Amino acid sequence: MNWISEVVRPKIKTLFKRETPDNLWIKCPETGQVVFHKDVEANQWVIPGSNHHMRISATQRLQLMFDGATWLDVAVPEVPVDPLKFRDEKRYIDRLKDARTKTGQQDAFKVGFGRVEELPMTIAVQDFGFMGGSLGMAAGEAFIKGAETALDKKTPFVLFAGSGGARMQEGILSLMQMPRTTVAIRRLRDAKLPYIVVLTNPTTGGVTASYAMLGDVHLAEPGALIGFAGPRVIEQTIREKLPDGFQRSEYLKEHGMVDAVVHRHDLKATVARLSRLFTKAPASAPETVTVAAAAE
């Protein structure tokens, strides 16, 4: 091989090579439709053609809900890391490090305080991207801190649930969060503060068996999987074929488990309207107050 093929050709190829970003396109999980990434982002992460609601992070959710995408992060108490020294194929502490690096969060919950259509509100979001949004000690403490913030500020408490269930790496300590969060919800009811739950895809396991199904109102995003055990496990147990759409939000609404299935575009307005009804707040505030002023 001569010097032309070894030196010149690679340089020419490099000169005319076009770099294409890896996330330029998004493929719809339902239809296989390929959509331009920026179009999906502009549509609040909903595929325009199929109406499929993509999973979004806790930060993205808060940006969509709070006025001006501005809120105050609520600090949550620290908890012991890896109390059981758990190890399966990988050490639990290493899984936590990987999840924190991937998401930029300390755990599966993010809690914010701000205004939604000018109404003060406390919102907690479960991020499925952090170890499947699993419920552990940190998540339990975050939920309780969110409820306490709502009690302190006298605001509605809104939960966006999205989880695979309890975190097995914390054993009984994760299961203990189910009654603890139930007590926090009882305190909200005693104070006559609304607790609104928005079920996202998926919401399963111990989360569904506790605080995700104890709301005053249950909303759900279209097509969300909601249940305790998954459909495949149920079919294997009862040895029968389940109905089409079983455990999806639309099916649960038809059978009285969910109050309304709400498109992501309408969630902010719906949550604000329900909160005003529960708190007997006026239809619109006379003036806009900044989040910093509301926190004082």
What lies within 8 Å, CB to CB, of 95 at 6+ separation is 131, 169
Q: How far apart are CA 184 and CA 172, in angstroms?
A: 19
68 exposed, middle or buried (CB, 10 Å; 0-12, 13-18, 19+)?
A: exposed
Strands 109-116, 119-126: pairing kind: antiparallel
Tell me which of 117-126, 212-221, 223-232, 269-278 is least confident.
223-232
What are the structure tokens assigned to 173, written together?
A: 């300590």
Tell me which of 30-39, 92-101, 138-147, 205-214 is least confident.
30-39
| CB-based contact 250:223 (threshold 8 Å) | yes
Question: Quick one: pLDDT at residue 1?
Answer: 52
Give the global pTM: 0.86
What lies within 8 Å, CB to CB, of 98 at 6+ separation is none
Q: Which residue type, as a one-letter code, is found at position 158?
A: V
pLDDT tens per residue, range 239-289 = 999 898 899 999 999 999 999 999 999 999 999 999 999 999 887 644 444
What are the structure tokens assigned to 234, written together?
A: 């149920």
* Neighbour tally for 238: CB within 10 Å: 9
Average pLDDT of the chain?
90
Task: Report how far apart, in Å, the C-alpha atoms of 292 and of each of 71, 136, 145, 296 are.
Answer: 9, 31, 19, 7
DSSP 63-132: HHHSGGG-EEEPP-----SSTT--BSSSBHHHHHHHHHHHHSSSSSEEEEEEEETTEEEEEEEE-TTTGG
